[in-house]
Amino acid sequence: MAIVVMKDPLGYIRKEEIQKLFTLNSAGSLRNVCMLRVTYYCGRRVSEVIEVRNKDIIFEDNSIVFNILKKGERLRRIKPVDLTTLSLLKEYMERYHIKTHSKLFPICRIQAWNIIKSTAKKAHVRTVNGKYPSFHTLRHSFAVHFMKGGGDLRKLQMMMEHSRIDTTAGYLQYSKSEINDAYYEIFQ
């Protein structure tokens, strides 16, 4: 596998840090925990997450249907989601009686931005380059963790809905020590 070093102004959140965002103490409500988890574990944009409706959750298939705007066209894409997030979504929908065609997260992008900003401050979570994360940082962190976990770049491209592989390659993040370790593993 080729190693690509990309500069990224957003950075990403280390895997061991990301879980701090998903606690009720940090996020403040079950809705916020669910929204943050869906964003990270599905690698979606905030604009896609806040459009998800109750009917878009497919429990028997462990997936969520997202409406994705791509080149001016609305597409429906089914994305896998982890079982913990599904369980929390089910609890959230039952507790708050979310109707079938209602949005799960009836907020705007600005409100979503405020949620992650306040959650990150409460949880003392910052990106690897020391900044507070944004929703896009969660998407970016998903991609970085997928690749560092041994995921395939082409599969990530499909999951992220990128038309070009070089766009997806921008999510590759390696520290200097990781690059040196890879070098010495190959050449020594």
Q: Which amino acid is it at 66?
A: F
Domain, as residue range, for 19: 15-187
In a domain, 132, yes or no: yes
Q: What pLDDT, in 10s, does the model give residues 140-169?
A: 999 999 988 889 999 999 999 998 998 888
Q: What is the CATH number of the domain that holds 39?
A: 1.10.443.10
In a domain, 164, yes or no: yes
pLDDT, mean of residues 102-107: 94
Q: Which amino acid is it at 43?
A: G
In a domain, 8, yes or no: no
- Top pLDDT among 9 and 106 is at 106
Per-residue confidence (pLDDT) for residue 155, from 0 to 100: 94
pTM assigned to the model: 0.86
Task: Give me the count of residues in the chain.
Answer: 188
Q: What is the CA radius of gyration of the chain?
A: 17
Give the model's confidence band at 181: pLDDT under 50 very low, under 70 low, under 90 confident, else very high. Answer: confident
pLDDT at 9 over 60: no
In a domain, 90, yes or no: yes
In a domain, 6, yes or no: no
Rounded to an integer, what distance in angstroms lies between the CA atom of residue 116 and that of residue 135?
A: 7
Nearest to 139 by CA among 114, 117, 168, 165: 168
pLDDT at 139 over 60: yes
Per-residue confidence (pLDDT) for residue 177, from 0 to 100: 72
Rounded to an integer, what distance in angstroms lies between the CA atom of residue 140 and that of residue 148?
A: 12
Rounded to an integer, what distance in angstroms lies between the CA atom of residue 109 and that of residue 102?
A: 17
Domain count across the chain: 1
DSSP conformation class of 59: G
Between strands 63-70 and 57-58, the pairing is antiparallel
In a domain, 150, yes or no: yes
In a domain, 7, yes or no: no
In a domain, 34, yes or no: yes
